[in-house]
Amino acid sequence: MPNFQDRLLFLTLQIDTAKSSVGTEKSERFGKLMNASHASLRDDYEVSVPALDTLVEILQKTEGVFGARLRGAGFGGACVALVTSGQSRGIATHVLEQYN
């Protein structure tokens, strides 16, 4: 059974993250917030799955990626990544090679 305190912690962290990013336009800072959000969704809210965690981890370790996290309601599905402008195709190719 999910722990209510973990869910509350997740929501609190998300609110704090949103507040701290207001007015922030730096990709590096926003990427770190994305990474922290994914970790919280995975650990505190428990809505990620191993395949998605692997994909996000590969993205987070890839040069040119500022941050990555799951997207949507969790339990599989999709992720989103913030990448250096003009490098998305090369990053996508690299990540798919690493994932497969």
Q: What is the mean pLDDT of residues 51-67?
A: 94
Name, in order, each residue with C-beta under 8 angstroms of 67's C-beta and a sequence gap of 6 or more. 30, 31, 32, 33, 34, 35, 60, 81, 82
**What is the residue extent of each domain of the chain?**
4-99
pTM listed for this prediction: 0.75
pLDDT at 13 over 90: no
* CATH code at 4-99: 3.30.70.890
State the pLDDT confidence band at 24, using cuts at 50, 70 and 90. very low
Q: What is the mean pLDDT of residues 10-34?
A: 72
| Predicted local distance difference test score (pLDDT) of residue 4 | 65
| Predicted local distance difference test score (pLDDT) of residue 6 | 73
| Predicted local distance difference test score (pLDDT) of residue 9 | 74
